[in-house]
Structure 1
Amino acid sequence: MVIEGCVRAPKIKAESLENDFRTLEDDISPDEFVGVEGLGTTVIDMYPNIFRQKNRRELLMLFFSIFSYLIGLIMLTEGGVYVFQLLDYYAASGMCLLFIAMFESICIGWVYGADKFYHNIEHMIGYRPLPLIKYCWQFVTPALCLATFLFSVIKYTPLTYNKKYVYPSWADAVGWMLAISSIICIPLWIIYKLCSVKGSLTERLRQLTSPDVELPQWQPDPKIVFSDPSQRPSEAAHLTIAVQESRC
């Protein structure tokens, strides 16, 4: 039996490593890259003079990856499952996501403009979506998110693990701090911007909800003329392309 086990040991190790690599390949999903890219792109757009230089974008992504890896190591400790559930219940809970989604819909439907965003989508995908989607951005989605958010707050129950272990009060306090840290940024930034702009409240709101005059705006190609202004981009075969001879 000992000899047979020694003979089969390399094969067992090879199969074990193969299974481990397959599991690792399945765990590394595109969602992981999307999260890091989304966070990194936001920071780069906020501070372009600092990060839009040689190799700084890559270093920033490396920093976020290493930082996330070190935070994830906590989950591998003996009590890591308790920390994981605490973060999952509060920091990544439905309340935070619903609150953020509500403001995203409000910004798209009322600040940026539902009609403008609707035309942008038409330009990107090549056809005109169902017009009902505009009213979803403006009314349906914010109302549903707000109602579900309030329902989650009213029906809140303290966190438990496996329906047996009840988290202490200080752990619930830490969890609420994590949840509020994601939610409070939006109203605090709104208040800060309102206080930093001069004029009456109406003038401040109008100025803050209008695009910056220095921001480059997308313009259609002046060389392409649509024979029918209401024509959809998907009907490109029926377009009349007029090229000015003087520019050739």
Structure 2
Amino acid sequence: MLTEAEEVIHARTAIACEAATGLPGTFSAWREDGLLAVLATAPELRFLRTISGVTEQNLPSAIRLAGASCWDGDPPTLVLPAGLNPAGLVPDGVRPIAILPLTGLAASDADVDDSPDIDVFLRVLLDGYESGGVVTEFIAAEHRDPRIRRSLLVQDGVPISAAALSPHGEGVLLGGSATPRAHRGKGAQARLMAHGLAAAAREGRRFAVATAVEGSPSLSNLRRAGARVHLRQAFRLG
């Protein structure tokens, strides 16, 4: 299941890289020897520079790819499943991935707009992220792509929280969700997530995937919803 989940994440990242073509820098997502590689040259987006899909069998190929010239001397992060701890690599934190089976989900009664005006959606989403510069431009480009499904939670006629997902085969990627500071603490993200998961289940999707920072509210919401969280290990070349 972890392999399937990483495939879903990579498919969504490929969409984001295609959508960001007009931004400064280079964005690319590709497959090589069973590995899933992502290149982003903007320093602010270095967290995207990864090699995943790593197993004990293709680990040597992953290390060779991490040392390739395409990275221009700034090697990517190798994201490995828990328990795979090769000698010679330097630990660099964890990259949690949450996997949630889409079974037994109740319909949501939240007031959700599933066809929001894109500019309104982006305003709410970016207000919630509180980012800036290249990161904001990248998020906006990704979430303007027509392959991304956008939703807004509405309260008393006012959009208070934004969330996005994208379908990929039997799975969906939950990605791009935020609530502006003035509306936090109301359970908005949990309600939007429940709405999106129920819709995906009705379509016949089998599982949902999300990435989040360990200790974050997003990861807590996913755990409460029944997700299994895999704490993948991040490494860099020594």
Report TM bin, short chain: under 0.3
Q: Name whichever structure is richer in strand by fraction.
A: 2
TM score, norm. by length of structure 2: 0.22
> Which structure has the greater CA radius of gyration?
1
The one of the two structures with greater contact order (alpha-carbon pairs below 8 A, sep at least 6) is 2
Q: Name whichever structure is richer in helix by fraction.
A: 1
TM score, norm. by length of structure 1: 0.21
